[in-house]
Amino acid sequence: MAARAVGFLAALPLCAQRSQVLRPIHRLFSCPGTAAEVKREERSSGSLETGSEDKTPKKKFSEVQKERREQAQRTVLIHCPNKISEKKFLKYLSQHGPINNHFFYESFGLYAVVEFRQKESITSLQNVTRTPSMGTEAAIPFKSRFFNLKTKNPSNPTSEQSSVQCSIHSPPSSKKLLELLCYAESIDDQLNTLLKEFELTEENTKLRYLTCSLIEDIAAAYFLDCTVRPFGSSVNSFGKLGCDLDMFLDLDEIGKFSTNKTSGNFLMEFQVKNVPSERIATQKILSVIGECLDNFGPGCVGVQKILNARCPLVRFSHQASGFQCDLTTNNRIALKSSELLYIYGALDSRVRALAFSIRCWARAHSLTSSIPGSWITNFSLTLMVIFFLQRRSPPILPTLDYLKTLADAEDKCIIEGHNCTFVRDLNSIKPSGNTETLELLLKEFFEYFGNFAFNKNSINIRQGREQNKPESSPLHIQNPFETSLNISKNVSQSQLQKFVDLARESAWILNQEDKDRPSSSGSQPWGLAALLLPSVMNSVCLAKKVRKKPASERIKNLLESIKSSGSENATSTDGKRTVSTQA
């Protein structure tokens, strides 16, 4: 890591020059110089210095969740008129109590997220808020924390009513991304740039917790004291801007309350309805919450109850935040997986940088999709990155079994008979001594998986080594906690072959002398940018390149394997496909 840190410092003056050049390009594609953009730059330069070099104590996942949740409970969401005086707006709201912070964003209208210092301010605001009269339609009264602000004299806008600065909640366009990558100094710089552009911003994270909190208010109408927690990529540190919002309706707090209060000779229990199985209970709960969201949830649209899935869920769009939401219950293991990924993401700054690039690469080549199917998922790709980093010498990441050995009594966790114990205090895990660059790791990732014996081996982050596949699915990635399950059971042979072909091709591209550094003209995509372009697997082109330059033994082998692999990609390239960067 020391070598990388020196490299980064040495590159700083150049980076500073580059940012001067990049400013106008930024302006072409996004709101120029917004507070969010500045914040994103500040935060990202900070995040480059985190990871194993960072000596400041890192917060536990549960501490982050608790803090964010509590923050969200003091926050409101307000739909605002398009033109508004920020000063007057804040003065008006301050009547209800001091404001900690706020931001504006656009999503089919202008919205403000306002965090009060005290929860009481929200009650005060709700007390002066009226239910609108709808003319011919009828409004269902619901006192939520989602408001609509109207100006009393809309026909008389004052000069103070100006446009407010809005934070950005969408990833960069393909064009902008390619430009940023082409201007980078090195492949390491490219991976860090991609991370900076795609990672969830502070504002986006706040909006995710707020959305969960608003849904919790609705669910609480049925299940008092329930909790709606975000999980998956919204909180595991691997989320890209635009990713879905996975929510977990946690009813366990209700049970805990009653067991703690037992005293004397009696035991009091609630009268409850019994159903034949846990699964039926889950389906019934989600069904009623789905109805509730559909009928009374402000801003919840397109509600679908997908109750027969392996993991029953309610899917809907939260219009105001723009999030596609998946609400599940009885899914505690997924919450634990999120915590595990959060730990892996925080252990070393290279983990997230590599995972984000691999996920973008997979999306650009349609290896992943937002529609369920026989494709590989982002969750599987992240586990593949973790596994690969466990296989380095020395390892960059520890195995899950090792994290289990570091656990103390408080970390012990058994869910539905599965041992989900691992150390939760990040500060007690020793950083890796491995100093490999991101450039090397990217190349080696593609070579490793381009030549992985998927036909006989399974990927297993618990032990950090390849194991014999226990079943015949083309791709076997062991579920870290429910170890008899394969998280990539859905992946078809043809999708796996496509992944292997593209991995080999990408390794080959990175091994080309002209593709691993900025081109002298500055116009040719190189490094990571070249990998995000449509596949160049074309036998004529390859043959030419082979004749031009004698390849090393390793590259020769790679070329052989590309030639011998399926023609799926060889025939599909016209050089005109655009890069898809959306989640």
Check binding of 337 to ligand GTP (CB under 6 A). yes
Which residue has the CB atom at the shortest distance from ligand GTP?
232
Angle at 184 between CA 441 and CA 431, to 5 degrees: 35
Q: How far is CA 430 from CA 337, 427, 501, in A?
A: 21, 8, 36
Check binding of 338 to ligand GTP (CB under 6 A). yes
Q: How far is CA 539 from CA 118, 531, 559, 569, in A?
A: 65, 17, 10, 10
Task: Kindly determine how many residues on this chain lie close enough to bind ligand GTP according to the rule CB under 6 A.
Answer: 17
Give the nearer residue to Mg ion in terms of CB position, either 371 or 453.
371
Contacts of 454 (CB under 8 A, 6+ apart): 474, 475, 476, 496, 500
Question: Binders of ligand GTP among 265-294, rule CB under 6 A?
Answer: none
Give the nearer residue to Mg ion in terms of CB position, either 244 or 568.
244
Check binding of 233 to ligand GTP (CB under 6 A). yes
Note the residues at the interface with Mg ion (CB under 5 A).
Answer: 232-233, 244, 246
Give the nearer residue to ligand GTP in terms of CB position, either 232 or 297.
232
Phi-psi region of 206 (alpha: psi -120 to 50; beta: other; left: phi over 0): alpha
Give the nearer residue to Mg ion in terms of CB position, either 246 or 250.
246
Q: Which of 468, 463, 537 is nearest to 497 (CA)?
A: 537
Rounded distance between C-alpha atoms, residue 16 and residue 296, angstroms: 51
Give the nearer residue to ligand GTP in terms of CB position, either 440 or 485.
485
| 376: its two tokens | 């590989």
Nearest-Å Rg of the Cα atoms of the chain is: 26
Of 378, 390, 473, 581, the residue at the interface with ligand GTP (CB under 6 A) is 378
Check binding of 499 to ligand GTP (CB under 6 A). no
- Which spans in 348-453 are helix H? 349-364, 378-390, 400-405, 438-450
Residue 487 binding partner per list ligand GTP, Mg ion, none, with a CB distance cut-off of 5 to 8 Å that depends on partner kind: ligand GTP
Rounded distance between C-alpha atoms, residue 488 and residue 199, angstroms: 24
Check binding of 322 to ligand GTP (CB under 6 A). no
Q: Which class for 189: exposed (0-12), middle (13-18), buried (19 or more C-beta within 10 A)? A: buried
Query: Nearest approach, Cβ of 268 to ligand GTP (angstroms)?
Result: 36
Each residue 241-270 as x (binds ligand GTP by CB under 6 A) or -, in order, gives --xx-x------------------------
Question: Binders of ligand GTP among 458-497, rule CB under 6 A?
Answer: 479, 487
Give the nearer residue to Mg ion in terms of CB position, either 206 or 469.
206
| 437: its two tokens | 């660059």
Q: Is the peptide bond prior to 534 cis by the omega test (within 30 degrees of 0)?
A: no
Q: Which stretch binds ligand GTP (CB under 6 A): 151-159, 213-221, 373-381, 397-405?
A: 373-381
Residue 239 binding partner per list Mg ion, ligand GTP, none, with a CB distance cut-off of 5 to 8 Å that depends on partner kind: ligand GTP
Residue 337 binding partner per list ligand GTP, Mg ion, none, with a CB distance cut-off of 5 to 8 Å that depends on partner kind: ligand GTP
Each residue 193-232 as x (binds ligand GTP by CB under 6 A) or -, in order, gives --------------------------------------xx
Q: Which class for 562: exposed (0-12), middle (13-18), buried (19 or more C-beta within 10 A)? A: buried
Give the nearer residue to Mg ion in terms of CB position, either 232 or 525.
232
Rounded distance between C-alpha atoms, residue 581 and residue 532, angstroms: 9
Residue 65 binding partner per list ligand GTP, Mg ion, none, with a CB distance cut-off of 5 to 8 Å that depends on partner kind: none
Which positions lie near ligand GTP, rule CB under 6 A?
A: 231-233, 236, 239, 243-244, 246, 334, 337-338, 377-379, 479, 487, 583
